Homo-oligomer: A and B are copies of this chain.
Amino acid sequence: MRPSGRAPDQLRDIRITRQYTMHAEGSVLVEFGNTKVLCTASVEDGVPRFMKGQGKGWVTAEYGMLPRATNTRNQREAARGKQGGRTLEIQRLIGRSLRAAVDTKKLGENTILIDCDVLQADGGTRTASITGACVALVDALTYLLNARKIKEDPLVGLVASVSVGLYKGTPVLDLDYVEDSSADTDMNVVMTQQGGFVEIQGTAEAEPFTLDQQQSMLTLADSGIRELIRLQQQALGW
């Protein structure tokens, strides 16, 4: 039924590769099918000015796409001289989501900068980014603990994210680009390891959706995210 041939509740092949590049404290290549995102977590001393003196840390994120990550080439944002609205929206979402994973008091006045750069896009780049970045974040926290820069583990729990949508009226999980383009509704969901909702962003593309449809989509997201969290744990060797 789905263009991808997957069952409605079936994730794409998910791969989470740690230590993908050598410089960052956390470096993860996350693949949701053909969507491939390099997520790095960089540790920096200190916090931004607006947070100084509170004894708390900061987690923030930036997002980018390589110009030819997509089917037709997009203009390089550095060459255009600014990040687009979509980019800013996504990186704000990633930042908020990862802050839900961390107790910033235990982080001390350290900053963790997440960079999510899409090497290849096939739908779901923001959900893959959050899922991969959380693993990179854990590696950066481990680095801080091992380097004796912090004493307690600031991790509250893993967070992961998946998209759900209505494809010809049926709720489907983890849409690829083709499915996303023809879906009636697109919803990105971020949840914690404990099963709580961190973010829900649902948009009716063609037809408005009902409370019932919304309910079914969230239920589907919940099961997908449980599986993603299991894969994050596996990648982390937990």
- CB closest chain-B residue, reference A96: B203
Check: A66 CB closer than 8 A to any chain B CB.
yes
Query: In the complex, how many angstroms separate the beta carbon of A138 from the nearest chain B beta carbon?
Result: 16
Chain B residues, CB < 8 A from A148: none
Q: Contact at B68–A78, with CB atoms within 8 Å?
A: no
Q: Contact at A197–B202, with CB atoms within 8 Å?
A: yes
Q: Contact at B23–A40, with CB atoms within 8 Å?
A: no
Q: How many residues of A contact B (CB 8 A)?
A: 68
Check: A207 CB closer than 8 A to any chain B CB.
yes
Q: Contact at B27–A68, with CB atoms within 8 Å?
A: yes
How many identical subunits does the complex contain?
Answer: 6
Chain B residues, CB < 8 A from A113: 67, 73
Query: In the complex, how many angstroms separate the beta carbon of A60 from the nearest chain B beta carbon?
Result: 11
Check: A210 CB closer than 8 A to any chain B CB.
yes
Given contacts A85-B92, A89-B89, are A24 and B196 in contact (CB under 8 A)? Answer: no
Q: Which of B22, B66, B71, B78 interacts with A83 by CB under 8 Å?
A: B78
- CB closest chain-B residue, reference A76: B62
Query: In the complex, how many angstroms separate the beta carbon of A44 from the nearest chain B beta carbon?
Result: 7
Check: A191 CB closer than 8 A to any chain B CB.
yes
Check: A88 CB closer than 8 A to any chain B CB.
yes
Instruction: Mark interface residues in A52-72 (1 if CB within 8 Å of B CB, else 0).
Output: 000000000010101111110
Q: Contact at A22–B120, with CB atoms within 8 Å?
A: yes
Check: A237 CB closer than 8 A to any chain B CB.
no
Q: Contact at A40–B68, with CB atoms within 8 Å?
A: yes
Cα(A195)–Cα(B71), bound, Å: 36
- CB closest chain-B residue, reference A95: B85
Query: In the complex, how many angstroms separate the beta carbon of A42 from the nearest chain B beta carbon?
Result: 4
Q: Contact at A82–B81, with CB atoms within 8 Å?
A: yes
Which of A70, A78, A191, A202 lies at the interface centre, i.e. has the most chain B CB atoms within 10 A of its CB? A78
Q: Contact at B70–A23, with CB atoms within 8 Å?
A: yes
Check: A115 CB closer than 8 A to any chain B CB.
yes
**Can you sample 25 A-B contacts with CB below 8 Å?**
A21-B36, A38-B66, A40-B66, A62-B67, A62-B76, A64-B78, A76-B78, A78-B78, A81-B82, A85-B89, A86-B92, A89-B89, A96-B203, A100-B208, A187-B200, A191-B208, A196-B207, A196-B208, A196-B209, A197-B204, A198-B204, A198-B208, A200-B214, A211-B218, A214-B218
